[in-house]
């Protein structure tokens, strides 16, 4: 059977760790040429080496997704290297500080919105622009979170950014589906990554058990399980799925 992403050129942001790294390895195994986009060069290059060691193809481009010039450069360098762009997994993101609304200052709120929501806007804008120029089909997957579907005290910047990504995805999907560009998003529950280590105090408190109990499945996700769902959304196997939010949460949102 033909691999799901054979010869497709795919950008993955935040590919230096966690879900982005697991996705780089999986998509490369499925035949994609991976553009590893990351702010931190060292971590990005580590992912490139891991992909190559596993027999895949990957190329690092440094990119801060909240910086417009960096995002334009990401697309330009991708085109210089491979001549086209077939898809993207816009996965980079931060959680930000946990504070109530009246305690938060503007800078703290803005930082999370700039990376998660504004960054996703920039990526979608320049990726779609390139796909339109190529007159080719494309598939874009944005990461959101169950946090985008729920309210949580102390999490207004993160949750607002995640809800915004769902709305942005739906809007972009309607604007460009007639051009053959499918845009969807993925909403994971809690996933075992660096980000999880930070929000669980590195396992020093009882937080891990708390998170596990919040998922009816009784555990949190492995990054590879999220990567599998992103792969499906990116590939032609989900060809009739448009503007959808795929919830991958072990039942978190149905409890
Ligand atoms: N881990 C979870 O429980 C969970 C749940 C739902 C959604 N998410 C989302 O999944 C995505 C991946 O997170 P993860 O869990 O793998 O954590 P992670 O911290 O391992 O990965 C996030 C990556 O994004 C990169 N990044 C952050 N800001 C950036 C910027 N401005 N420009 C470029 N890269 C930047 C980081 O360097 C890092 O490589 C994030 O957007 C996160 O919010 C995570």
Take residue 110 and report the two structure tokens written for it. Answer: 């803005």
Q: What are phi and psi of 254, to 5 degrees?
A: -100, -5
How much distance in Å is there from the Cα of 29 to the middle of ligand 1? 22
For residue 89, being part of any structural domain is answered with yes
**CA 236 – CA 250 distance, rounded (Å):** 25
For residue 209, being part of any structural domain is answered with yes
Backbone dihedral region for residue 12 (phi beyond 0: left; psi -120 to 50: alpha; all else: beta): beta
For residue 21, being part of any structural domain is answered with yes
Q: How far is CA 56 from CA 26, 28, 52, 53, 174, in A?
A: 9, 5, 5, 7, 34
What are the residue numbers of the active site?
158
92 CB near ligand 1 (under 6 Å): yes
Q: Which atom of ligand 1 is nearest to the CA of 190?
A: 3
How much distance in Å is there from the Cα of 179 to the middle of ligand 1? 29
* pLDDT < 70 positions in the chain: 202-203
Q: In testing the pocket of ligand 1, which one of 19, 46, 60, 114 has its CB within 8 Å of the most ligand atoms?
A: 19
Q: Which atom of ligand 1 is nearest to the CA of 95?
A: 43
For residue 233, being part of any structural domain is answered with yes
pLDDT tens-digit series, residues 165-181: 999 999 999 999 999 99
224-242 as b/e: b if 16+ CB within 10 A: ebbbebbbbbbbeebeeeb
Take residue 38 and report the two structure tokens written for it. Answer: 């990351």
Q: State how far Cα 99 lies from the chain centre.
A: 24
Residue 37's pLDDT is: 98
Question: By the 8 A CB rule, do 30 and 237 touch?
Answer: no
230 CB near ligand 1 (under 6 Å): no
36 CB near ligand 1 (under 6 Å): no
Domain count, the chain: 1
Residue 203's pLDDT is: 67
Closest residue to atom 8 of ligand 1, CA basis: 145
Residue 56 sits in a domain whose CATH number is: 3.40.50.720
Backbone dihedral region for residue 142 (phi beyond 0: left; psi -120 to 50: alpha; all else: beta): beta
Residue 199's pLDDT is: 72
**CA 232 – CA 240 distance, rounded (Å):** 12
161 CB near ligand 1 (under 6 Å): no
For residue 47, being part of any structural domain is answered with yes
Residues 6 or more apart from 147 whose CB is under 8 A from it?
155, 158, 159, 162
Identify which of 124, 110, 9, 139 has the alpha carbon closest to the alpha carbon of residue 65. Answer: 124
For residue 3, being part of any structural domain is answered with no
For residue 135, being part of any structural domain is answered with yes
91 CB near ligand 1 (under 6 Å): yes
- Which range of residues forms the domain containing residue 110? 9-250
pLDDT tens-digit series, residues 89-129: 999 999 999 999 999 999 999 999 999 999 999 999 999 99
For residue 146, being part of any structural domain is answered with yes
């Amino acid at each position: 059977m033909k691999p799901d992403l054979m010869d497709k050129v795919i950008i993955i942001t935040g590919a230096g760790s966690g879900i982005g790294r697991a996705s780089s390895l999986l998509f490369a195994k499925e035949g994609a040429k991976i553009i590893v986009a990351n702010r931190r060069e060292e971590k990005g290059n580590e992912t490139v080496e891991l992909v190559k060691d596993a027999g895949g193809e990957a190329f690092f481009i440094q990119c801060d997704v909240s910086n417009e010039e960096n995002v334009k450069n990401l697309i330009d360098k991708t085109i210089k290297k491979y001549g086209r762009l077939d898809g993207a997994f816009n996965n980079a993101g931060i959680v930000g500080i946990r504070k109530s609304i009246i305690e938060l200052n503007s800078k703290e709120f803005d930082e999370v919105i700039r990376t998660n929501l504004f960054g996703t806007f920039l990526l979608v804008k320049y990726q779609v622009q390139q796909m339109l120029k190529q007159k080719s089909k494309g598939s874009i997957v944005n990461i959101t979170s169950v946090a985008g579907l729920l309210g949580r005290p102390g999490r207004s910047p993160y949750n607002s950014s995640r809800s915004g990504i769902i709305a942005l995805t739906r809007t972009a999907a309607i604007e460009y589906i007639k051009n053959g560009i499918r845009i969807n998003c993925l909403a994971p529950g809690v996933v075992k990554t660096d980000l999880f280590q930070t929000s669980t105090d590195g396992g020093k408190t009882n937080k891990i058990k708390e998170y596990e109990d919040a998922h009816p499945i009784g555990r949190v996700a492995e990054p590879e399980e999220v990567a599998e769902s992103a792969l499906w959304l990116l590939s032609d196997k989900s060809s009739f799925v448009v503007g959808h939010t795929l919830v991958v949460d072990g039942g978190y949102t149905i409890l």
